Amino acid sequence: MSFFKFIFSKVFFLNLLIALLITAGLLYLVVSYLDNFTNHGEQVEVPNVIGKKTEDLDSALVDKGFEYVIIDSIFDRKKPKGVVVDQSPSPEYFVKEGRKLYLTINARTTKKILIKEEMTDLSMKDAMERLQSYGVRVNVLWKSSTPAGVVLNVSYRGAKIVPGQTLINDGDVVDITVSKGASSSTYFSDYLGLSLKDAISKVQSSALIPVPMQVGKNLCKTEADSLSAIVIRQRPAYEQGMKLKVGAPIQLYFTCDTSYHEPATILD
């Protein structure tokens, strides 16, 4: 039988049909196996573990078929130590069961700050700006000395800070002692419209004591909210050329209540 007669024969077409059926059957078995092996089309919702403690992650993730890896830690003093602060994939995403989650947690230990600069003999403004850039809060103490406005001492918890050696907890208060000079009075400014943070800085740089006073029904929820709130009133009210005694208090009225309106008349 010639080649051309064979490929047009019933035997050839029968063998071809059998081969195609076998191939299709094998492909179906392979696809079915892969679907079952990879859970094709089966997805589960990613649990939300933000805010959970690390010791609770096994029950929250592993017991539900997920794996997790802690890839980073940060320090945020406003949040509890040892809790999850970020996750990837994000909550409410749908992924295959067994997917690995990557987590960032809030450090269990308080961040320590090492101040390397010598602050004595600086101006009060320069010293405050440098200390605040480290992430500490500043409390100003006054001492009769000249010239005025010079930092005489920087201390933490009653002990003098040694540059490059003293460790300070992030967010703690550092005391600076500043000379108030021979003059017992100082000029002050108009702080209305400034953010509370800027107003406090300006009051302190004038050798005065800021006293924040919150007004309105909707109170600021966080420290960041408070510091970015706007000063709407001050006491004493500003008058050009007016002086106050060094170390005198300046009341700074601020609000996070956008619906709050000052009364028409304020009596000082």
Average of per-residue pLDDT across 148-177: 91
Q: Are residues 176 and 190 both part of a single domain?
A: no
pLDDT digits (tens, 9 = 90+) for 222-263: 777 887 899 999 999 999 889 888 878 899 999 988 888 777
d(CA 64, CA 86): 19
Q: For residue 120, give the CATH number of its domain.
A: 3.30.10.20
Tell me how far apart the alpha carbons of residues 108 and 73 are, in angstroms, rounded to a whole number.
Answer: 9
In this prediction, residues 156-163 reach a mean pLDDT of: 94
Within a domain: residue 221?
Answer: yes
129 is in which domain, residue-wise?
A: 110-182
Q: pLDDT tens-digit profile of 98-141?
A: 788 999 999 888 888 999 999 999 988 888 888 988 888 888 88
- Give the tokens for residue 46: 């990613």
pLDDT of residue 75: 84
List the structure tokens of 33: 């196996």
Whether residues 235 and 205 share a domain: the answer is yes
**Same domain assignment for residues 201 and 254:** yes
The count of other CB atoms within 10 Å of the CB of residue 252 is 24
The answer as to whether 2 is a domain residue is no
The reported pLDDT for the residue numbered 7 is 57
Q: Do residues 262 and 195 share a domain?
A: yes
166: enclosing H helix or E strand: none
CB burial class (10 A; 0-12, 13-18, 19+) of residue 140? buried
* pLDDT tens figures, 87-103: 999 887 888 877 889 99
Q: Is residue 17 one of the residues assigned to a domain?
A: no
User: Residues 210, 241: one domain?
Assistant: yes
- Among 41-45, 63-67, 94-98, top mean pLDDT goes to 63-67
The number of domains in the chain is 3
Mean pLDDT to the nearest integer, 78-95: 88
* pLDDT above 90 coverage of the chain, percent: 31
Residue 9 in domain: no
